Structure 1
Amino acid sequence: MGWYAASVVMYFELKNEPQDEYPIWENVYLIEAPNGAEARRKAEYFGRLEEGDDDSLTWNGKPARHVYGGIRKLLTCAPAIGGTTADNDKIEDGVEATFNAFLVSSREKLESFIRGEPVEVLYEE
């Protein structure tokens, strides 16, 4: 068995009116599975468990529902730094669970991104 990081996309949909912006949450689940297909199936199951419309959820004060959007990416977790591929079935300190790749157009934007400030990026993966 190996470990996978599944990026599950959830979004908020207004119940009573049209919308032109969609708030998105990307939930990353660590999943143990014998292969990628089984990991994807489990990730979808977990995402669908998060769906909901319990009449109390709102977005910006308006009634909304939490909707499962899909699996954006599924990655095999890399072994801990200094480990080997044989260590992929172990979750321990230093295991790389997931990653994202971005491109920014300047050193200034890079520094803003590192500080956690809003910045325009090209999301590559």
Structure 2
Amino acid sequence: MTWYVASVIMSIRRKDGRQKNIPVYENFILIEEESCEQAISKVKDMAVEEARIASERLTLNDKPAYMFFEGVRKLIKISNPPNIDLDAVPPVSGTELTYSEYLVKNKKQIKKLVQGKSIKLKYID
């Protein structure tokens, strides 16, 4: 079987439907399955169940709320370090689980990104 990381998008919404902003979370779920299709199906089921459980007593700004599974943004086949067969050996220390690609204007923006500061960038999906 193959190991994947699924990028799952969840949101929190007030039950009365009134809110200025919607908190959105991107969760990264490690999953082992035979194929991409099976991995996506399994992670969707897991996310729906997580949203159901999380919604039981959830509030947003002291108002009743619920968690909503928005969808799977992407699925990545993970990469073990060189010389380790990913299908024969489970993830180990050094396994690349996910990655993101950005375009920035200059080196100064890269430094700010590394420091966790706000910058404008283009996210390549």
Tell me what 1:88 maps to. 86
Cα deviation per residue 1:23-46 (whole Å; 9 max; x = unaligned)? 111111111111111111111111
Report the 3-state secondary structure (helix = DSSP H, G, I; strand = E; otherwise coil) of the residue aligned with 2:74. Answer: strand
Question: Which blocks of at least 5 consecutive residues in structure 1 are unaligned?
Answer: none
Whether 1:101 and 2:101 are equivalent positions in the alignment is yes
Q: Which residue of 2 aligns with 1:46?
A: 46
State the shift of 1:18 in Å: 3.0
> What TM-score, normalized by structure 1, do the two folds share?
0.86
* AA aligned opposite 1:66: M
Name the aligned partner's letter for residue 78 of structure 1: S
Q: Tell me the amino acid that sits aligned with residue 32 of structure 2.
A: E
2:47 corresponds to which letter in structure 1?
Answer: G
Q: Deviations over 1:44-70 (max 9, x none)?
A: 11111111332x312233322110011
Q: SS where residue 96 of structure 1 aligns? A: coil
Q: CA deviation at 1:20?
A: 4.3
Tell me, in whole angstroms, the C-alpha distance in 1 between the residues paired with 2:19 and 2:106.
Answer: 33
Deviates more, 1:56-65 or 1:90-99: 56-65
Alignment of structure 1 residues 1-125 onto 2, 5 Å: 1-52=1-52, 53-54=55-56, 56-80=57-81, 82-83=82-83, 87-89=85-87, 90=89, 91-125=91-125
Size of the aligned set, in residue pairs, is 121
SS at match of 2:40: helix
Distance 1:106-1:46 versus aligned 2 partners, 3 A rule: same
- Counterpart CA distance in 2 for 1:106 and 1:23 is 30
State the distance in 1 between where 2:122 and 2:21 align: 19
CA offsets 1:66-124 (integer angstroms, 9 cap, x no match): 100110000111121x225xx11221111111111122223222111101122222211
CA RMSD of aligned residues (A): 1.6
